[in-house]
Structure 1
Amino acid sequence: MTAYWITEYREIVDEAKVAAYAALAGPALEGAGGTFLVRGLPEQTYEAGELTRTVVIAFDSVEAARAAHDSPAYQAALAALDGGAVRDMRVVPGA
């Protein structure tokens, strides 16, 4: 079953660290089988109206998403982020 890795950036603290993270995270997650579906700011918001950067990545399964997160390549990306953003990240199985 497909799983979706969803990250919401609640606050960007250091743009340089976020850029360093992105340079490593994209290739690491794609290399682990992830496909980026959404990456950016909303064009329209409803209800809470939060203009937060959102990333959605599809994986073949929850297990594949977990393995991508725990991989050495992605852990290096997290080390580069080093507090540069306040984020919420979750993996949700597809319907």
Structure 2
Amino acid sequence: MELVFAGPVIEWRGPSPYYFVTVPAAESADIREVAAMATYGWGVIPVEARIGGTAFTTSLFPKDGGYLLPLKSAVRKPQGLSAGDDVTVAMTVRL
């Protein structure tokens, strides 16, 4: 399943800061339809994603009926991203 969406980079301040992009509601609904085939436990969904020229693999985190796409430093720094920046994500759910 391939998806493209846009959204702001958000920061969650836990014991250390984490950065995410929220997957929009419509795309989250599409992902939920295949979640049972994709998840390897705890509701996380493996994906391949691209932001600008940076491709990466990660897992979506379930949150409030939707999903969060984590953005590691290795993704944010090459693209010069920080909290509040708008990004476009091309993403493939790994089934």
RCO higher in structure (CA 8 A, sep ≥6) = 1
User: Which one has a larger percent helix, Structure 1 or Structure 2?
Assistant: 1
Note whether the superposition's TM-score is higher than 0.5: no
User: Which one has a larger percent strand, Structure 1 or Structure 2?
Assistant: 2
What TM-score do you get using the length of structure 2 for normalisation? Answer: 0.30
